[in-house]
């Protein structure tokens, strides 16, 4: 079974646009779990333009499904993970000024850094995942860091899905098979939606988890959050 983790960053973006606490990200996280989300994902950034560091502290006290904290492993991120001990820490190589994550780790160049970071996260009892591009060369070095999982960066798949879905998914199937051979768990995320999700899952049925935020929250404007989460769950069960 592939789990659906709902990224609630966009809920915080909406709240921050007006100040105060509407919508309440903690309530939305609890409602999302009640509606069928099997995990909650957040990605705090240094400028706190969406999820704030104190949101993460508050969420870790109430989330009962898998709590996943994404981010660049700077000092503040590592301290946040140490304090909250989420189910999973997803390491993303985005600089502080990035609008959104736009590439995976070069696990060859940064293997020493990742080795040290992952060793520290394991001391906290936290499962790790490395955000990674669908290129074979990065997977064995990823395995050598000691990480339990990798997360496929799926924006290129989503961008080309409507032109030629078979060609778009091909490199992902190839690296997914390699990940399985290496004993790496497999997550996926970025620009997945109701149009392209089912096909990805059908081609890679051993996916452990998908993390979806932007598209899911946009769909919720039309369908409602409860219905939307169930719609995404059904895509993973086709």
Chain segment 27-71, per-residue pLDDT in tens: 999 999 999 999 999 999 989 999 999 999 999 999 999 999 999
* Distance of alpha carbon 74 from alpha carbon 63, whole angstroms: 24
- Whether 122 sits among the annotated catalytic residues: the reply is no
**Which residues lie closer than 8 Å to 2 by C-beta, 6 or more apart?**
201, 205, 207, 208, 209, 210, 236
Q: Give the residues across from 209 on adjacent strands.
A: 3, 187
- Whether 70 sits among the annotated catalytic residues: the reply is yes
Q: Which H or E element spans position 9?
A: helix 9-18
Out of 60, 151, 190, 209, the active site residue is: 190
What is the per-residue pLDDT across 157-179, written as a single tens digit (0 to 9) for each?
A: 999 999 999 999 999 999 999 99
Q: pTM for the complete prediction?
A: 0.96
Out of 33, 70, 151, 209, the active site residue is: 70
Out of 33, 43, 151, 209, the active site residue is: 43
168: its two tokens: 């778009």
Closest C-alpha to 6, from 213, 215, 236: 213
- Whether 123 sits among the annotated catalytic residues: the reply is no
């Amino acid at each position: 079974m592939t789990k659906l983790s709902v990224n609630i960053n966009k809920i915080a973006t909406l709240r921050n646009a007006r100040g105060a606490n509407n919508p309440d990200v903690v309530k939305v996280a609890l409602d999302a779990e009640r509606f069928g989300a099997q995990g909650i994902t957040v990605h705090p950034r240094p400028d706190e333009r969406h999820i704030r560091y104190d949101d993460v502290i508050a969420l870790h006290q109430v989330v009962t499904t898998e709590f996943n904290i994404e981010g660049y492993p700077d000092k503040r991120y590592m301290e946040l993970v140490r304090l909250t001990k989420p189910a999973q820490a997803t390491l993303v190589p985005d600089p502080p000024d990035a609008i959104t994550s736009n590439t995976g780790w070069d696990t060859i160049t940064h293997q020493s850094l990742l080795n040290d970071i992952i060793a520290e996260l394991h001391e906290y009892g936290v499962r790790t995942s490395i955000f990674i591009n669908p290129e074979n060369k990065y997977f064995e070095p990823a395995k050598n860091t000691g990480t339990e999982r990798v997360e496929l960066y799926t924006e290129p798949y989503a961008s080309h899905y409507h032109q030629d879905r078979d060609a778009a998914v091909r490199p992902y199937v190839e690296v997914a098979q390699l990940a399985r051979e290496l004993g790496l768990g497999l997550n996926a995320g970025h620009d997945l939606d109701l149009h392209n999700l089912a096909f990805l899952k059908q081609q890679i049925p051993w996916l452990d988890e998908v993390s979806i935020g932007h598209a899911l929250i946009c769909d919720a404007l039309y369908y409602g959050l409860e219905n939307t989460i169930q719609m995404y769950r059904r895509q993973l069960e086709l």
